[in-house]
Amino acid sequence: MKLTTGQTYWDKTVKPTSSFPSLENDYHSDILIIGGGMSGTLAAFKLASTGKKVTVIDRAEVGKGSSSANTGLLQYASDTMFSEFVDKIGEKEAFLFYKMCLESMDELTEIASKLPETTGYRLRDSIYYASTPDDVDKLKREYSFLEKYDFPAEYLDHQKLFEEYGIEKPAALRTWHDAEVNPYQFIQALTAENLKMGVTYFEHTAVDMDSLTETAIMTDCGKKVSFESIIIATGYSKLYSELNGKAQMNQTFAIATKPIEGEFWKDNVMVWETKKPYLYFRTAPGGRMIAGGLDEESSDLYDDPELIQRKGQEILDEIKEMFPRLDVEIDDAWNSLFGISKDGLPFMGASPHQDNVYYLLGFEGNGTCYSMAGASIIQDLLDGTPNPYAHIVRPSR
Ligand SMILES: Cc1cc2nc3c(=O)[nH]c(=O)nc-3n(C[C@H](O)[C@H](O)[C@H](O)COP(=O)(O)OP(=O)(O)OC[C@H]3O[C@@H](n4cnc5c(N)ncnc54)[C@H](O)[C@@H]3O)c2cc1C
């Protein structure tokens, strides 16, 4: 299954740190991670940091899956508002979930600050605007919960939003502890650290997920890989039977613009909105803008350049309507699969059916934040350490 069609942007900005051999023989690893995207890379980083023997296997190349299609807006706020989670899972669990995300954002920031290579990681505030006047009350209710639990957020009325950011919308929330990143560079930098810590990598090695037992899995070439524990970090490549009825695939569209001279808007804040599916955009180094949206239900991609260009233009036109002075053109445009869950939560933790098997699937919009949280949860599960958030995102829920 293809994860992306069209031309993505980030993988053009940096060469891979290394290339890795394919697996030609039977093999054993204490911890085996399937998938070298953001999830597998962060899990390898966390686990190798505590001295564990880790191997990552990818059917293609490290970081070239959905992670290089990622637009790189990292936020603690989820696609599902805190207040919406209150209605779905109760206030206590909603608070815990948002706390997990805020802590994960701070952990990502700390990791990024220690990486020697450039990763495009930069703290940025986010503006979450009400798409219509009807959504203002929703935003006010959201703010009341964020304020109650001391999350970093401020309510901006129409006038303040326009005066500060030039955005003509009914109201917004400003949040911070958020960040932008070049996800491909970030993965490459982490991979370099993982190699120093002894993580082993194999690329161009697909495993047959249907051959999975509690102690081994087969590669498509018939090699047996045994393990003590396996982490399935295959992103949106497959909807596992454990997730039956709980998740679905969408397709989504994204663009990178050609560089422009001059300023975009105040503080280059990242912008998104209450409408679903939502439009989201940010700036990128070198005077570019990265944007995405227009999600539609779809279990496959069309590989249709005309569609990708047309949808990309729709995204750009919406942004130009907000900032008419911007004279921007599309450089790259892509179309990607995107996994969402019915309850708005990712799937991270032990398989309900097989011992030693863990899922790290960051479905939903701020997947990078979930990849970080899931890496910590799985580390705790492997170590037998209680984790305050594991029950909320467990795949068996
Ligand atoms: C257009 C778009 C925009 C997005 N924007 C954002 C954003 O702004 N912020 C954010 O936080 N998140 C965003 N996301 C979500 C984010 O990209 C995902 O959460 C993240 O990429 C998931 O990482 P992953 O490692 O789970 O998946 P991937 O990066 O897809 O990695 C999975 C890897 O598993 C490998 N694999 C799959 N099956 C097998 C197999 N059988 N054998 C071996 N290897 C296998 C694949 O080759 C792949 O490399 C966006 C996603 C899309 C598509």
Q: What is the pLDDT of residue 355?
A: 97
Residue with structure tokens 């030039």? 166
Average pLDDT on 295-324 reads 91
Please choose from 234, 251, 300 the residue to mutate so as to test ligand 1's pocket, defined by most ligand atoms within 8 A of CB.
234
pLDDT at 1 over 80: no
* Edge-to-edge strand list for the sheet holding 73-74: 73-74, 179-180, 122-123
Strands 224-232 and 216-219: antiparallel
Q: What is the mean pLDDT of the chain?
A: 96
Q: Which of 1-15, 71-85, 205-219, 375-389 has the lowest mean pLDDT?
A: 1-15
Report the separation in Å between the CA atom of 194 and the middle of ligand 1, taken as the mean of its atom positions: 19
Q: Is 346 in the pocket of ligand 1 (CB under 6 A)?
A: no
Is the CB of residue 74 less than 8 Å from the CB of residue 282?
no
Q: Is 70 exposed, middle or buried (0-12, 13-18, 19+ CB in 10 A)?
A: buried
What is the mean predicted confidence (pLDDT) over 288-304? Answer: 89
- The residues, ordered by sequence, that sit 6+ positions from 137 with a Cβ below 8 Å of its Cβ are none
Asked if residue 229 has its Cβ within 6 Å of ligand 1, the reply is: no
- Which residue has a Cα nearest atom 18 of ligand 1? 367
What pLDDT score does 4 carry? 92
Q: Is 8 in the pocket of ligand 1 (CB under 6 A)?
A: no
The percent of the chain in helix, strand and coil, each rounded to the nearest 5, is 35, 25, 40
- In what helix (H) or strand (E) does residue 371 lie, and over which residues does it extend? helix 367-383
Find the radius of gyration of the CA atoms of the chain: 20
Q: Is the CB of 119 under 6 A from ligand 1?
A: no
- pLDDT at site 394: 97
Nearest to 144 by CA among 194, 182, 180, 91: 91
Q: Look at residue 302 in the predicted model and tell me its pLDDT.
A: 78
pLDDT digits 0-9 by tens, 32-71:
999 999 999 999 999 999 999 999 999 999 999 999 999 9
pLDDT(262) > 90: no
| Atom in ligand 1 nearest the alpha carbon of residue 3 | 30
Contacts of 3 (CB under 8 A, 6+ apart): 65, 66, 69, 235, 236, 237, 301, 336, 337
More confident site: 374 or 365 = 374
The CA 66 to ligand 1 mean position distance, Å, reads: 3
Q: Which of 173, 189, 168 is nearest to 129 (CA)?
A: 173
pLDDT of residue 59: 97
Helix (H, G, I), strand (E, B) or coil at 34: strand
pLDDT of residue 300: 84
Question: For ligand 1, is residue 234 a contact (CB within 6 Å)?
Answer: yes
| Per-residue pLDDT tens over the stretch 90-110 | 999 999 999 999 999 999 999
Predicted confidence band of residue 200 (pLDDT cuts 50, 70, 90): very high
Give me the mean pLDDT over the 309-335 stretch. 94
Residue 182 Cβ inside 6 Å of ligand 1? The answer reads no
Which pTM does this prediction carry?
0.97
Burial 108-119 (b: 16+ CB within 10 A, else e): bbebbeebeeeb
Residue 303 confidence class, pLDDT cut points 50, 70, 90:
confident
* Res. 267: pLDDT tops 80: yes
Task: For residue 155, count other CB atoms closer than 10 A to its CB.
Answer: 18
Dihedral of the alpha carbons of 83, 84, 85, 87, in degrees to the nearest 10: 90
- 148: pLDDT strictly greater than 90: yes
Of the chain, the percentage scoring pLDDT greater than 90 comes to: 91
Mean pLDDT calculated for residue range 331-353: 95
Atom of ligand 1 nearest to the CA of 58: 44
DSSP string of 251-319? EEEEEEEPP-SS--SGGG-EEEESSSSPPEEEEETTTEEEEEEEEEE-SS----HHHHHHHHHHHHHHH
Domains and CATH numbers, the chain: 4-70+184-245+344-393 (3.50.50.60), 123-178+246-341 (3.30.9.10)
Examine the pLDDT at 17 and tell me if it is beyond 80.
no
Q: What is the largest CA-CA distance in the chain?
A: 65
- Cis check for the bond before 152: say yes or no (omega within 30 of 0): no
pLDDT of residue 297: 86
Q: Which of 20, 34, 67 has most ligand 1 atoms within 8 Å of its beta carbon, as the pocket-test mutant? A: 67
Choose which residue among 3, 9, 20, 38 to substitute to test ligand 1 binding: the one with the highest number of ligand atoms within 8 A of its C-beta.
Answer: 38
